[in-house]
Amino acid sequence: MMVAKDGCFWASYAVCPFWKPSYRRYRTLCAKLKILTESIIRKSRDQNSSVHHFDQRSYQKSEGMMTGHSLLGAAEGPHSSEEELCGNTIGLMLHGISTSANLIGSVLTRLTVFPKLQDQLHAEIVAACNESPELEVDDVLRMRLLLAAVRESARLLPAGPLLQRCSLKHDLTLGLGITVPAGAILVVPLHLIQMDSSVWGNDAGQFNPHRFLKKDIDLGDILAAPSGLNGMNLSSDCAKTESFLPFGSGSRACVGQKFVILAISILIASLLRNYETRCASSDLVFVGFFEHPRAVGSQVYADVCA
Ligand code: HEM
Sequence ranges of the domains in the chain: 12-302
Quick one: pLDDT at residue 260?
Answer: 93
Please tell me which residue, 74 or 208, carries the higher pLDDT value: 208
User: What would the mean pLDDT of 212-230 be, rounded to a whole number?
Assistant: 51
Ligand 1 atom with the smallest distance to the CA of 245 is 10
Which helix (H) or strand (E) is 140 found in, with range?
helix 137-141
Residue 19 has pLDDT above 70, yes or no: yes
Quick one: pLDDT at residue 230?
Answer: 42
Closest residue by Cα to residue 256 from 143, 156, 154, 185 = 154
Ligand 1 contacts CB of residue 249 (under 6 A): yes
Most confident of 46-60, 77-91, 133-147, 216-230: 133-147
Quick one: pLDDT at residue 266?
Answer: 95
**CB–CB of 170/119 below 8 Å?**
no
Quick one: pLDDT at residue 136?
Answer: 87
Ligand 1 contacts CB of residue 278 (under 6 A): no
Residue 286 has pLDDT above 70, yes or no: no
pLDDT > 90: percent of the chain: 34
The pLDDT confidence band at residue 18, using thresholds 50, 70 and 90, is confident
Most confident of 46-55, 130-139, 247-256: 247-256
The pLDDT confidence band at residue 192, using thresholds 50, 70 and 90, is very high
pLDDT in tens, 100-128: 999 999 999 999 999 999 999 999 999 99
- Annotated binding site, which residues? 254
pLDDT in tens, 128-187: 987 778 888 888 988 989 999 999 999 999 887 889 989 999 999 988 889 999 999 999
Ligand 1 contacts CB of residue 163 (under 6 A): yes
Nearest-CA residue for ligand 1 atom 18 is 254
Residue 260 C-alpha to ligand 1 middle, in angstroms?
A: 9
**CB–CB of 246/154 below 8 Å?**
yes
Is the model's pTM score more than 0.80? Answer: no
Quick one: pLDDT at residue 81?
Answer: 77
What gap in Å lies between CA 150 and CA 121, rounded to an integer?
11
Region of poorest pLDDT, from 191-195, 201-205, 215-219, 236-240:
215-219
Residue 200 C-alpha to ligand 1 middle, in angstroms?
A: 24
Ligand 1 contacts CB of residue 95 (under 6 A): yes
Residues 6 or more apart in contact with residue 109 via CB below 8 angstroms: 287
Ligand 1 contacts CB of residue 92 (under 6 A): yes
Residue 300 has pLDDT above 70, yes or no: no
**CB–CB of 225/232 below 8 Å?**
yes
The pLDDT confidence band at residue 72, using thresholds 50, 70 and 90, is low
**CB–CB of 197/204 below 8 Å?**
yes
| Topology of the domain comprising 12-302 | Cytochrome p450 (1.10.630)
SS3 category, 260: helix
User: What would the mean pLDDT of 269-291 be, rounded to a whole number?
Assistant: 73
Residue 247 has pLDDT above 70, yes or no: yes
CB atoms within 10 A of CB 219: 22
CB atoms within 10 A of CB 268: 24
Return the HEC string of 202-237: CCCCCCCCCHHHHCCCCHHHHHCCCCCCCCCCCCCC
